[in-house]
Amino acid sequence: MNGQAIDELGLTSDEEPQTPGDPRPRRVLRRVLIAVAIVLGLVLASVVGFVGFLGYTVNDNVTQENLLPDPGVAITAPDGTVIPPAAEGVEGVAGTGTNFLLIGTDGRTATDRGRSDVIILVHVPADPTSVQMIHFPRDLFVSIPGHGKNKINAAYAFGGEPLLVETLQNLLGVRIDHVARTDFDGFENMVDAVGGVRVYAEEASNGQGNGGPTVITKGWNELDGGEALDFVRERYQLSQGDISRGRRQLALVKALLLEATSKQTLTNPVKIARLTDAATKNLTVDQNLSLADLKDYALELRGIRGGDIVFATAPYTGFGTDPVAGSIDIVDQPKMELLGEALRTDTMDDYLDVFVTP
Q: What domains are defined for the chain?
A: 1-12+22-61 (no CATH), 65-355 (3.40.630.190)
Closest CA to 143 of 151, 133, 132: 151
Closest CA to 271 of 195, 187, 198: 195
Element (H, E) at 92: none
- At residue 80 the predicted structure's pLDDT band, cuts being 50, 70 and 90, is confident
Over range 52-69, report the average pLDDT: 68
- At residue 44 the predicted structure's pLDDT band, cuts being 50, 70 and 90, is very low
Over range 12-24, report the average pLDDT: 54
Highest-confidence segment of 60-74, 130-144, 245-259: 130-144
- At residue 200 the predicted structure's pLDDT band, cuts being 50, 70 and 90, is very high
User: From CA 353, how far away is CA 239, in angstroms rounded?
Assistant: 25
pLDDT for the residue 338:
92
- pTM of the full structure: 0.76
Residue 9 has pLDDT above 50, yes or no: no
Closest CA to 56 of 269, 265, 277: 277
Exposure letters 147-183 (e unless 16+ CB within 10 A, then b): eeebbbbbbbbbbbbbbbbbbbbbbbbbbbbbbbbbb
- Mark out the alpha helices in the chain (DSSP H runs): 3-9, 24-61, 152-172, 184-193, 225-233, 242-260, 263-266, 269-281, 291-300, 333-345, 348-355
Q: Average pLDDT, whole number, for the chain? A: 78
User: From CA 64, how far away is CA 53, in angstroms rounded?
Assistant: 20
Q: Is residue 49 a contact partner of residue 43, using CB atoms and an 8 Å limit?
A: no
- At residue 117 the predicted structure's pLDDT band, cuts being 50, 70 and 90, is confident
Residue 212 has pLDDT above 80, yes or no: yes
Phi, psi angle pair for 103, to nearest 5° = -120, 130
Beta-bridged to residue 142, according to DSSP, are 150
Residue 202 has pLDDT above 60, yes or no: yes
pLDDT for the residue 329:
94
The sign of the dihedral angle between the CA atoms of 76, 77, 81, 84 is negative
pLDDT for the residue 11:
42
Closest CA to 258 of 320, 194, 209: 194
> Which is more confidently placed, 34 or 119?
119
Residue 353 has pLDDT above 90, yes or no: no
CA dihedral 140, 145, 148, 149 (to 10 degrees): 10
User: From CA 35, how far away is CA 5, in angstroms rounded?
Assistant: 11
Beta-bridged to residue 151, according to DSSP, are 141
121: helix, strand or coil: strand
- At residue 22 the predicted structure's pLDDT band, cuts being 50, 70 and 90, is low
Exposure letters 291-327 (e unless 16+ CB within 10 A, then b): eeebeebeeeeeebeeeebbbbbbbbeeeeeeeeeee
Q: Is residue 101 a contact partner of residue 121, using CB atoms and an 8 Å limit?
A: yes
